[in-house]
Amino acid sequence: MFPGALKAFYEVARAGSIRKASEVMGVSPSSVSRQVAVLERQMGTRLVERSTGGVVLTHAGELVATFARAVILDFDTLKVDLDDMRGSRRRLIRIASVESIVSGGPPLAMAEFKRKYQDVSFQFSVMPAKQVLNAVKKDFCDIGITQNPPPDPDILSVAHVAEPVVLAVNSSHPFAGKEKVTLAELATIDLAVPDENFGVRAIMNDAFYREGLRPLPTMVSNSFEVLRSFISASNGAAIMPLRAVKDVFGGAHLIPIMIDSEPFRGGAIHIVTHAERRMPRILQAFVSVLAAHI
């Protein structure tokens, strides 16, 4: 039954479409459909409901999909570990990361790891925090890098590094000489903030909610580059991770100011994987290098 029919069903369940699953597997849709039908006969029940818009799993299909996921992921991990034992480390490591972390750490980690393991290659995608977690949960990537992920039974944090969220200003801002600012002070200034897809925004919303404050942002963006440009071109300020301030400007053009609030001080970068997936040894080794560089 494995890997043929079960693998085909797993890809259909993951993609929500026989056609999309066939593209992933590199076979015809009719072949995938036949494999799913074989599995349904073996299970003795219908696993999917077909429609013009794709497929929907039945209750039985949900149970089989959970089983298939565990079996196939463990099989893939075992194969990688066996290849490692034979001296072959040919492996594509897929990484999904939020924008604020892409400079410095991850590229340096990939370069160092590549020098040691020549057969390893990388696929690095930048996306908002919610999409990073979704990519991990749907196995579109092997590891995710994000800021303060919310609790999720499907997500496992395998390493984390402290990364406070700060107020960034230019040298002419009235707050430029301050060592720290309060939330009440933030509520009085023109403030640029990341949009709701960013982990930083969740930290900010939580902190202001605790204090009963509801500041109205002057500008909202899904790009830290836009936030930095806003600060440089105006007398405004922006909330962002410390790394997003220093990596681009080296702390020379923009000034980071600590925010006197526990949610902001407790910020951290997390390297996450799917909770049900056992990491191959080669991936564990890369995570160690990545955490050190971050």
pLDDT in tens, 14-55: 888 888 888 888 889 899 999 999 999 989 999 999 877 788
The pLDDT of residue 85 is above 70: no
Cβ 140 vs Cβ 94: under 8 Å = yes
Q: Comparing 89-160+268-293 with 165-265, is the CATH topology the same?
A: yes
pLDDT band (50, 70, 90) for residue 182? very high
The pLDDT of residue 248 is above 60: no
Mean per-residue pLDDT of the chain: 85
- How far, in Å, CA of 265 to CA of 258, rounded? 8
Kindly list the domain boundaries of the chain, sorted by start residue: 4-83, 89-160+268-293, 165-265
- How far, in Å, CA of 154 to CA of 200, rounded? 21
CATH T-level topology, domain 89-160+268-293: D-Maltodextrin-Binding Protein; domain 2 (3.40.190)
- How far, in Å, CA of 58 to CA of 240, rounded? 43
What are the residue ranges of helices labelled H in the chain? Answer: 4-15, 18-25, 29-43, 59-85, 105-116, 129-137, 183-186, 199-211, 224-233, 242-249, 262-265, 281-293
pTM over 0.85: no
pLDDT 10s digits, 91-145: 789 999 998 888 768 999 999 999 988 888 899 999 988 899 999 988 889 999 9
Strand partners, 143: 95
Strand partners, 269: 147, 161
CATH no., domain 4-83: 1.10.10.10
Architecture in CATH of 165-265: 3-Layer(aba) Sandwich (3.40)
pLDDT band (50, 70, 90) for residue 249? very low
